Structure 1
Amino acid sequence: MKHELLDLSPVMPVVVVDDADAAVGAARALLAGGIKVIELTLRTDVALAAIERVASAVPDIVVGAGTVTTAGQARQAADAGASFLVTPGCTERLLEAASSTGLPFLPGVSTVSEAMRLAEHGVSALKFFPAEPSGGVAYLKAIAGPLPSLRFCPTGGITPDNAPGYLALPTVACVGGSWLTPRDALSAKDFARIETLARKAAALR
């Protein structure tokens, strides 16, 4: 994945939507709050439609597809207009499929061997998932010595309280967080709240 994508915002919002209209409103609110990227996860039936809507209606935000777990999803997300792909883990088949789309992608890893294998394929920007259960800040500090050229976006258990600790690490480019778009705020279409949370997140670095 191109490192510039990881440098767009200190926090990459990880968003689960049940309403494509809410996705558009959330994207606009995030952008107004200073967040320039959004990861819409493929966990609901409307996710692909939401990606398509956001890509069309909010062209100034970089929209990606998250929770990509199959080759078919990688192709569908690319066809829907996603600008990048995020995976929770990475099999050989998924790596090949994601690469074939031509899109930047952020493959998930939780072990040194997984990170090394992807580095052998020329992938130097990775999602560290699930971050907190996998060792958190201490783990990333420990592997920075043998793997200094890799950059990470830790996701999973990241909060406004622990995010600064991750962002202080030289190998961490940004963190992934779901707290910017709470499910209740999305359901109520409380985009003012999302914009406020985005402003606070944008100020973390």
Structure 2
Amino acid sequence: MTSPLPSSSAASVLDLAPVVPVLVVEDVADAVPLARALVAGGLPAIEVTLRTPVALDAVRAISGVVPEAVVGAGTVITPAQVTACGEAGARFLVSPGWTEALLTAMRASGVPFLPGVSTTSEVVALLERGVRDMKFFPAQAAGGTAYLRSLAGPLPQARFCPTGGIGPDNAPEYLALPNVGCVGGSWMVPADAVAARDWTRVERLARAASDLRAAGGTCR
């Protein structure tokens, strides 16, 4: 059985890379070249959202052909999807929110998961259940960096992957926060580049994104 994460040195999805690309795959033929370009650019953790009919096939293709990618499934909202994602080879799960049933299923899956939160009460409820790594969504609409900065004092044990409204201009501000492990975004996979199958451009944008934390700047 494939280990959910590549090594014990990366105990959490939040520690794999500063940016997790969030993919909406329309054509399963694009999945493998996309993953290869992102990995070559230094972004090994890849979230394939369950927003298209081919999403699980894309997860399956990446998992089988690009072993150096840590491919996960996003927009997971039901226990049945948790099972299907595991069968497809997903190595982590991401949800926009959570319920008790969904949390139970994600725990039982045996792979790392990031349940979505947007309020302090949701964060406290997850901490009460032993969950410390979370997705903050929709990040910008839910309060952005100011909100997360406010949570760091009373709830320092919670760590987040903010996603939603994040791009190259504001990602460094998020990454500078002590309670942010990584951010999620799709700016390194622009629709026109994917449509043109310009994987060289995707790799270049991924490389710029992977350097964001160290550089403390922006990429375009």
The verdict on a shared fold, with TM-score over 0.5 as the criterion, is yes
Determine whether 1:150 maps to 2:158.
Answer: yes
1:32 aligns with 2:20: no
Question: How far apart are the structure 2 equivalents of 1:46 and 1:154?
Answer: 25
Q: Following superposition of structure 1 onto structure 2, how do residues 1-205 of structure 1 map, counting pairs within 5 Å?
A: 3-205=11-213
Instruction: Specify the SS of the correspondent of 1:40.
Output: strand
* CA distance in 2: counterparts of 1:126 and 1:184, whole angstroms: 31
AA aligned opposite 1:196 = R
RMSD of aligned residue pairs (Cα, Å): 1.2
Letter of the 2:205 counterpart: L
The superposition leaves residues 18-73 of structure 1 with CA deviations (integer Å, 9 ceiling, x where unpaired) of 11120111100001111111000000000000000000110001000000011111
Deviation at 1:3?
Answer: 4.7
Cα distance in 1 for partners of 2:195, 2:75 equals 21
Q: Which range is displaced more, 98-107 or 46-55?
A: 98-107
Distance 1:145 1:28 in 2: 39
Secondary structure in structure 2 of the residue aligned to 1:153:
strand
Please report how far the alpha carbon of residue 4 of structure 1 lies from its aligned counterpart in structure 2 after TM superposition.
2.9
Q: Which amino acid aligns with 2:108?
A: S
Contact 1:22 1:187 in 2 (8 A): no
Paired residue secondary structure (2:131): coil
Contact kept? 2:12, 2:112, Cα under 8 Å: no
Distance in 1 (alpha carbons) for counterparts of 2:75 and 2:11: 20
Matched position secondary structure for 2:104: helix
Higher RCO (CA-CA < 8 Å; seq separation 6+): 1
3-state SS of 2:22 partner = strand
- On the 8 A contact 1:17/1:186 being kept in 2, the answer is no
SS in 1 for 2:76: coil
CA distance in 2, matches of 1:76, 1:16: 17
What stretches of structure 1 of length at least 5 have no aligned partner? none
C-alpha contact (below 8 Å) 1:12/1:175 kept by paired residues: yes
1:173-203: per-residue Cα shift (whole Å, max 9, x none)? 0000011112222222111111011010010
Q: Distance in 2 between matches of 1:193 and 1:133?
A: 29
SS across alignment from 1:157? coil
